[in-house]
Structure 1
Amino acid sequence: MAELLEIVTNAATLLCPDLEENTQTLQRKIELLKSRKVDVQADLQNAGKKRKREVEDWLINVENNITEFETLEQEIQCSRFYSRQKLAERVERMTKEVMELDEQSDFPGGLFLEVDESIGQLMLTPPHNGQAFLQYFDDIWASLMDDNILSIGIYGMGGVGKTTVAMHAHDKLLNEPKFSGHVYWITVSQDFSIHKLQSDIAQALKLDFSCGSDEKKRAAQLFQTFQKRGSYILILDDVWKQIDAEKIGIPPRRDGCKLVITSRLKEVCDRMDCQRIIKVNTLSKQEAWELFLKKLGRVELHPEVEEICKTMVKRCGGLPLALVTLAGSMRGVTDIHEWRDASEELKQSCMGRADMENEVLPILLYSYDRLRDPKLQRCFLYCSLYPEDFYINREELIENFISEELMDRRLSWRAENDQGHAILNQLERACLLERVWDEYHVKMHDLIRDMALGITKHNPRYMVKARLNLREIPDVQEWTEDLDKISLMVNRIEEISIGMSPNCPRLSTLILSHNPLKSIPNCFFTQMCGLRTLNLSNTSIQYLPHSISDLENLRTLLLRSCLNLKSVPTLEKLRLLTRLDLARTKIEELPEGVESLTNLKVLDLNCRSLSIPTGVLHSLSLLQKLRLPSHIGVPIEDVLALKQLEDFGGSVNSVSDLNRLITFLQSMMPPSFYSIILISKFDEQIILDASHRKSVCFGQESLMDSSLGEGKILLPRDIEDLRFSRSGLNGSLADGFQMLNNARCVKRCSVHREDEIECIIRLSSIEEQQSRGAPFQSLKNLLLRSLPNFIGLFMWEGKAAVAPLLPGIFTQLTVLEILSCNKMKKLIPRSLLQTLPNLQNLKVMDCNEIEEIIGDEDDDGSSVINSSAEVTLPWLKLLKLGNLRKLKSIYKGKMICDSIEKIIIMRCTNLKKVPPLDGQPSPPPSLKKITVDEKEKEWWESLEWEHPNANNFLQPFVKFGPYALFYV
């Protein structure tokens, strides 16, 4: 076999003898191109001007060639005789492209535009789908900058990119000085109401209505608020019908104020009297092809596959959404048979469709069909139960997938949770779901949701009327016998008619959450014998009808945040129930029959008034996830009997119970999630935070027991979140709580209202530090609030010489937040600043005595800072200083913060310099915004700058706002 392989390899070399040599030549040219790219980027970074579009295109093309060459090298190394000829052709083609890019790098006329557009400083050309997109963007921007054009309409078919191009304009407008950041984005949607639109605009304006729900008065208040803002831009996205601006409270058009709308309908732009109307068309054939290839991934297509792709792209009709979705569904497919099969399926799904709008949905439907796996399809369709433009919490969605039995069954809760995340990731990759900015939520594109709702008109059968501003429940005639799921969430339904009893024997899911629903007639559920999921969360209901007790097929009952709910009827017959959520209700006693729910896997009883009798949990042996009230200690013996428990939240009354519980949870394989509070008495301020998994909180007076010695308290070995709230800490945190030395995984630490604590670490000799250990090696977030005797992060021990910290302490810290520590005069000495190399966010607020952020050492003979001393915070992105009346210095020497993005300084009027912004001939390259109290413009103008032009080149970044927004 080895001999055969050698023969084949030799034959391949004979066929293309120059491949290796040509590849080496290409590699040298690539390296030269990389060097030229670095030089160009350095010039761009140091200038602070608007770069030419051809420069941006050149940079993108260079990066694409570098990436392609890396792939090409790997393919050459693995090649055989049948592919070397094609690889040689690719090397030759790439060599020509690289040489052309090298020639283009001279950029006749320079890198920058001659026009000085302050808004364009440091702003990259928006990512785009081609030249047409740039043309739309330029047209829109020109209209926005034209003082004679006060209203702009952007229209085109669904999924064509109207919202995308408007969003890029919105982002650039935020840095446009003439509008002072007064740029507001409102998503309107198809079924808007005046009341909802008024509320959305008020939220964008940070306005609280003082006039209740009267729409005329709300309009008047909005009108007055807009008038006070001066120049502004209001963007209304996804408008489906004419909006009466006067009824909403939008002022008539005037100089400096502009209205922008996006719509699928030109007549909407006409009826709203838009002065400039711009149509966004579908992509050209070439741009459609380029977008498809980009989303498919940089792959070398077989000639037959390439022809198939072109046929498929043609059927997408140049619609970006369809192209992206189709490419996402085919990413990674290499088999020619699968490509041919895909093309045939796509052709059949589009047959008989005449106009573009009707052709798009079948293309999207095809992506749904290509999911193949029924569980992926079930989970995807379930997402359509949520309202349009709704940010759906991933964790909530996965819990619903589990309780609705939409996924494969797994033995553990963690395994099912992992499966849920995998499914959501697959749906995102197929472009059927979008992950939003915070990464904890997903949403469905309007057109994708339309497609899903189209599917659910047949099989399975859904009735979805979510967030449609309904005041009444749909007529009984709409509740047909073949319905599988109904969602009426996020409406204004207050009651269900007496005597209403829909005949829905197949109905498995009913969602009435987020309605002001007060009562349900007893007969309402009598003909829903198949109901498996009932969600009444966030309603105003006080009592549940007794007919719920007869829903023997019920698996999930969700009553979370029913703040008026005082009692629940007997649950004795609901023996199939697997999930029960009573959190944040007013119930004081467990519902009758809970001990009979032997199939329960998820139980949330985190209520402020609820008591739990001993022994009641012992029978619920299948529980995997349990939340108990935070105000009372758990019945520890009952919890220790739950051998399937994987996720626990609750309080314990003693160190002994804490240690037993931790030992039990850590014995699980894999170890459980937990959120545990140690309390000696009830503390109203401590609320169980289920979002912080692997968390332990030491509550009021829990550490004041004199019998607590070193080693008496156990901490989980994988603890990530550690909190202290009035627990009785004193001295230094590291000394007073030495168990930290064994908690090497802690990523977040919060210390709140600890009256005696003075510092985090007491500095001493290296030898003594080594004997104490080195905590905080994984810490990322440190939050310190309301510590009246806190002096600073570090405190010298007597008059000892300054000693360095042990390696690793605080080196992972990214967020440091200090609030209301009124004895502290200095945050950190300069000599220890190197312990914070990864600091990204620094917030110091309401500290009455602080004078320095980075300061001199203590009076022990240590060095004193001079004006030439330099410090570097290489990753600092956010600096937020507020209400520090005695603050004189952020730092007396030079401070290098090239990564700084936002600086917020309010009520620090003794401050004379802002060193992260000073000492350079241009703004820091990453700077986006400087926020100053609107009442302190004079203070800002009086600041001292080392560079004489600093105030001028920083001015475009400065925004003035009310102090109330400082804490937002």
Structure 2
Amino acid sequence: MDKLLEFGAQILPNVVAWLCPNLEKKTVTLRRDIRLLTNRKDDIDEELQNAGKKLRREVEHWSNRVENIKNEFETWEQVQQSSRFYHVFKRQKLAEQLERMIEEVTELVERRDFPGGLFLEVNESVGQLSLTSQPNGQAFQQNFDDIWTSLMDANVVSIGIYGMGGVGKTTLAMRVHDKLLNEPTFSDHVYWVTVSQEFSIYKLQTDIAQALKLNFSCGSDEKKRAAQLFQEFQKKKRFVLILDDVWKRIDAEKIGIPSKMDGSKLVITSRSEEVCHLMCCKNIIKVNTLSEQKALDLFLKTLDCGEPSLEVKEICKKMVNRCGGLPLALITLAASMRGVIDIHEWNDALEGLKESCLGRADMKDEVLPILSYSYHRLGDKRLKGCFLYCSLYPEDFPFSRVELIGHFILEELMERRLSRQAEVNQGHAILNQLMRACLLESNSNGTLKMHDLVREMAIVITKDNPRYMVKAGLYLKELPEEQEWTEDLDKVSLMRNSIEKISPGTSPKCPSLSTLILRGNPLRLIPDCFFTQMCGLRTLDLSETKIESLPNSISDLEKLEALSLTHCSELVSVPSLEKLKELRYLELSFTSVEEVPQGMESLTNLKHLSLLCYRLKMIPTGTLDRLAHLQQLELPCHLDVPIEEVEKLKQLEVLNCRLNSVRDLNRLINSRRIDKPLYLYNITVGSQEKDKLRERRGPYNFLYIGEPNKFLYIGEKDLMESSLDTDKNMLPQDILSLCFHSSGLSGCLLDEFPTLSSARDLKACEIMVEDKLECIMRLEEEQQSREVPFQSLERLDLTELPNLIGLFKWEAVAAPLPPGTFSCLQSLCIYECGKIKKVFPQSLVHNFHNLEYLYVEGCAQMEEIIEDDKNEGADITFPRLKGFYLMDLPQVKSICKGKMFCDSIRHIALGGIKNIKEFPLYLPLLDDGQLSHPPRLASIYVTGDKEWWESLEWPHHNAKNVLQHLVKFELDDLDASE
């Protein structure tokens, strides 16, 4: 295994570059395309509510495909970001999946017409699609064409896009950005940076450096940073920099942006034409508001109420006039009026809108009063509180649903429910309501964000009641002036700034302050007096800081309910928590603390305790006994967790820890049948020695991304002894991911863990370094169990199993496989399993009809990939197979006896299989009778002897000539820059 890891580390960059050139560029493009596509789908879905069934049927399939590809990409992106796979083919699978999604999204984007004369129209201001009887969107397209022409003009260096807030400038610029990513002229050097109203040179330099993936080597000196940025841009030679939401003139020289470099292009969006002129933009394009009729059409479409009465329509027209043709205002206002039927309520809403616009004359932008009115129409105090909380994040910050809901719970912004899961469900419902009201937006990766104007409106509201001070993401180097810390402040967010220290003697007088967020600052020291006048503080977030120790004054914050110190990697000690009786949330994960904080046993109201601290020496006996209200518990795997104490936590719903043995696991499963079931868990079973082995070899936790984390890792060396107990080894019925590593498995997996037969949610299973395991399941002539094992399994990895004879062991001749077994399997990997002689027989191929990736390597006795158990030499079909990899199989003589039909095959990798004389892949014929390779086949990677490849026989005599341009020999020859 160590040899494999070393080999993988050496060749992985080349392989990934070969399999999917420009991976990052393609990911960005696809993300934006899916975002646009989702907007189109939402518009279409709304429009079709009023259309006939025939029209709905015509686009239903298209709409479903959009939703499916969006969900698939979100899952893909999470897997790609967290993936640390050690098998090359697993990384290749991600690359292949990306390529397929790009193809499908391209098809969906380009499909602009449907049967029956139904067209997809580009809204000329917001760039979204809607249904109409004729194609439209000329204004949007004209603006786009003008910008594109300017970008291709060597004489135009800078371009300005201006218009009112909410008119669609950013959407237009995004469309340009997306197309530029596929434009070879700029060699992939296309960068997007959001500037925002509270801009500073330092902040903008930092954001541009992040876009360029540049690490400053000159500290905080702005002149030196500018010089380094300038040099980095000069290396690019040809580039496009898009600065979105510019409020005032930016001195390009001070920032480090070349202003007149050949091949460089600067694009800015701004609400001010004057700013475009001050920035010396060569071409300036105005994005106009919607005409009166188009504004009304958009309003009614968003309202989604069919054909309104004449009275209601007249009121709608008056409301539309108030919106000034601004799409954001129209959509938000209409969303707030959905479901209103009574004419009196419509009239009341119109009067309220008039008062809102008059009463908010201090708001600089015309759209803000409309947005403010939509906020007030939420009515529900919970919705309002949750919405305003979102404004504490920096502008354009992507916040996750899980994190937001956790904060809603902590801040008591929602109703209290009996369980954590019920509260999470309530949180999702609230976020969905805010999205339906168009006050929150969804990113393509599943995170949420606020439109900058919506956030601006929220901040205006929180300058009054409730009273917030929000200075997040501004790269401030110091705390705000003391006079800004008023006594009536309720929440303060200084998240993601550059504050390194708080001056001695600083002690803001904020008795009403309930929430203070200093997360993401390089803060090292807080003076003891800082918290002395914050007696009402309930939430303190110091996570992701460089704090080394906390001031003792924290011990006196007796109303504190939440203390977050996660990822404070330099924090080594925490003062006594004995007085903090109200504390419900304590997060110390990824700190350097070595001891449990003093007074922990006094925190009897604690619901969330996260101690994933890898220097923590011990948890004193009896500590958990006193925390009876715990709902979530996270402990590091190097510490023993007494099962007796965990069993007493009757309210527990989320668990991340290590248990000593399978016996303890059985006890936990049995106890949860009586108490609340765990709905999230990540449990390691095994001794500390096995856990150290796991750390040395690298992480094998391949959680099934996209669904709740329900993962179990079993590395218990005395598994065989525990199986002698009267109780059978058990597994949670809802488990998603399962890994066995040196656990002592023997004989048949299903015999050891019979509950696997009924684990219907299991998606991924990995078994490695199990010396005594012989098979996965035993097939008898009459299956006693009615269960269908592995019916949902999508991934199966078998690694270093020296006694494995096969997936199946037959107890009777020709015993059938239960229908549905392995029917969802997409990926099968068999690595260094010395005794296995076949993967599976030809008679069971139909059970594997969803297989996409088959990887077999290092199996010394493998003789045949697909066994011809019926001696018929029949053809076989893998309708979804994309990757086929055979490596280092010295005894294999045949892949299969008949032809192998794989129309979806994309990549083939072969090496160390010299005894194979014939490759059975069937090649299709074109309409003109000419032989062709499978339509999706992109590459054949061959390692080893080139003469062996030349000697291979094929079902067609001309096959080698047809495939020659796809063949790549020797991994070292790959050019990683491709």
Change (3 A) 1:410 1:352: closer
SS at match of 1:389: coil
1:816 aligns with 2:827: yes
Which residue of structure 2 aligns with residue 784 of structure 1? 797
Deviates more, 1:604-613 or 1:201-210: 201-210
Which residue of structure 2 aligns with residue 167 of structure 1? 174
Q: Distance in 2 between matches of 1:419 and 1:252?
A: 51
Residue correspondence of structure 1 range 122-201 to structure 2 within 5 A = 123-124=110-111, 128-130=122-124, 131=137, 132-146=139-153, 149-176=156-183, 183-192=190-199, 197=204, 200-201=207-208
1:575 aligns with 2:581: yes
The aligned length equals 829
Q: Distance in 1 between matches of 2:208 and 2:926?
A: 40
SS at match of 1:262: strand
Q: Which amino acid aligns with 2:766?
A: V
Q: Which amino acid aligns with 2:284?
A: I
Q: CA deviation at 1:371?
A: 0.6
Change (3 A) 1:138 1:859: same
Q: CA deviation at 1:401?
A: 0.9
C-alpha contact 2:506 2:529 (8 A) present in aligned 1? yes
Q: CA deviation at 1:309?
A: 1.2
Match of 1:805 among 803, 817, 831: 817
Q: Distance in 1 between matches of 2:576 and 2:455?
A: 38
1:858 aligns with 2:862: no
Match of 1:327 among 322, 334, 349: 334
Q: CA deviation at 1:333?
A: 2.1
Residue correspondence of structure 1 range 81-480 to structure 2 within 5 A = 123-124=110-111, 128-130=122-124, 131=137, 132-146=139-153, 149-176=156-183, 183-192=190-199, 197=204, 200-201=207-208, 204=211, 233-243=240-250, 258-297=265-304, 299-351=306-358, 358-439=365-446, 441-480=447-486
C-alpha contact 1:533 1:556 (8 A) present in aligned 2? yes
Q: CA deviation at 1:819?
A: 9.3
SS at match of 2:626: coil
Q: Which amino acid aligns with 1:432?
A: L
SS at match of 1:603: strand
C-alpha contact 1:766 1:806 (8 A) present in aligned 2? no
TM-score when scaled to structure 1? 0.74
Q: CA deviation at 1:318?
A: 1.0
Q: Which amino acid aligns with 1:596?
A: S
Q: Which amino acid aligns with 1:274?
A: C
1:68 aligns with 2:77: no
Q: Distance in 2 between matches of 1:411 and 1:798?
A: 50
Deviates more, 1:750-759 or 1:658-667: 750-759
Q: Distance in 2 between matches of 1:572 and 1:681?
A: 31
SS at match of 1:645: coil
Which residue of structure 2 aligns with residue 740 of structure 1? 756
1:396-426 CA-partner distances (Å, limit 9, x unpaired): 1111111111112222222222111111111
Change (3 A) 1:371 1:946: farther
SS at match of 1:153: strand
Residue correspondence of structure 1 range 559-958 to structure 2 within 5 A = 559-610=565-616, 611-669=618-676, 672-682=679-689, 683-684=691-692, 685=694, 692-699=708-715, 701=717, 703=719, 705=721, 707-708=723-724, 712-729=728-745, 733-734=749-750, 737-746=753-762, 748-751=763-766, 753-754=768-769, 756=771, 761=776, 767=782, 774-779=788-793, 781-782=794-795, 784=797, 787=800, 795=807, 797=809, 805-813=817-825, 816=827, 818=829, 832=844, 834-837=846-849, 842=853, 857-858=866-867, 860=869, 862=871, 864=873, 871-873=878-880, 893-897=900-904
Q: Distance in 1 between matches of 2:282 and 2:860?
A: 55
Q: CA deviation at 1:913?
A: 11
Bigger relative CO (Cα 8 Å, ≥ 6 apart)? 2
Q: Distance in 1 between matches of 2:392 and 2:55?
A: 45
1:535 aligns with 2:541: yes
Change (3 A) 1:237 1:653: same
Q: Distance in 2 between matches of 1:723 and 1:701?
A: 14
C-alpha contact 1:766 1:805 (8 A) present in aligned 2? no
Q: Which amino acid aligns with 2:530?
A: F
Q: Distance in 1 between matches of 2:187 and 2:830?
A: 29
Q: Distance in 2 between matches of 1:710 and 1:962?
A: 59
1:846-901 CA-partner distances (Å, limit 9, x unpaired): 9578999x9952365655576xx65422xx8xx5789979999999744334xx9x
C-alpha contact 1:763 1:805 (8 A) present in aligned 2? no
1:523-578 CA-partner distances (Å, limit 9, x unpaired): 11111111111111111111111111111111111111211111111111111111
Which residue of structure 2 aligns with residue 497 of structure 1? 503
1:482 aligns with 2:484: no
SS at match of 1:580: strand
Q: Distance in 2 between matches of 1:638 and 1:660?
A: 12
Q: Which amino acid aligns with 2:110?
A: M
Q: Distance in 2 between matches of 1:221 and 1:847?
A: 48
Q: CA deviation at 1:142?
A: 3.8
C-alpha contact 2:576 2:599 (8 A) present in aligned 1? yes
Q: CA deviation at 1:637?
A: 2.0
Match of 2:557 among 539, 546, 551: 551
Q: Distance in 1 between matches of 2:965 and 2:723?
A: 63
Q: Distance in 2 between matches of 1:602 and 1:62?
A: 40
C-alpha contact 2:720 2:746 (8 A) present in aligned 1? no
Q: Distance in 2 between matches of 1:190 and 1:961?
A: 47
Q: CA deviation at 1:462?
A: 0.7
Change (3 A) 1:775 1:278: same
C-alpha contact 2:47 2:304 (8 A) present in aligned 1? no
Which residue of structure 2 aligns with residue 82 of structure 1? none
Q: CA deviation at 1:268?
A: 3.8
- Percent of aligned pairs sharing the same letter: 52
C-alpha contact 1:632 1:653 (8 A) present in aligned 2? no
Q: Distance in 2 between matches of 1:133 and 1:929?
A: 39
Q: Which amino acid aligns with 1:123?
A: E
SS at match of 2:293: helix
Q: Distance in 2 between matches of 1:916 and 1:314?
A: 65
Which residue of structure 2 aligns with residue 28 of structure 1? none
Change (3 A) 1:451 1:122: closer
Q: Distance in 1 between matches of 2:184 and 2:567?
A: 44
RMSD between superposed Cα atoms in Å = 4.9
Q: Distance in 2 between matches of 1:391 and 1:451?
A: 18
Q: Distance in 2 between matches of 1:776 and 1:713?
A: 17
TM-score when scaled to structure 2? 0.73
Q: CA deviation at 1:461?
A: 0.9
SS at match of 1:300: coil
Q: CA deviation at 1:951?
A: 12
Change (3 A) 1:835 1:342: farther
C-alpha contact 2:734 2:761 (8 A) present in aligned 1? yes
1:762-809 CA-partner distances (Å, limit 9, x unpaired): 685664x66696321123x426386475989x6465899777632112
Q: Distance in 1 between matches of 2:173 and 2:861?
A: 45
Q: Distance in 1 between matches of 2:624 and 2:768?
A: 34
Q: CA deviation at 1:750?
A: 4.0
C-alpha contact 1:288 1:320 (8 A) present in aligned 2? yes
Which residue of structure 1 aligns with residue 64 of structure 2? none
C-alpha contact 2:242 2:268 (8 A) present in aligned 1? yes
Q: Distance in 2 between matches of 1:932 and 1:348?
A: 69
SS at match of 2:508: coil
SS at match of 1:777: coil
Segments of 5+ residues of structure 2 without an aligned counterpart are 1-39, 58-105, 113-119, 125-136, 942-949, 967-972
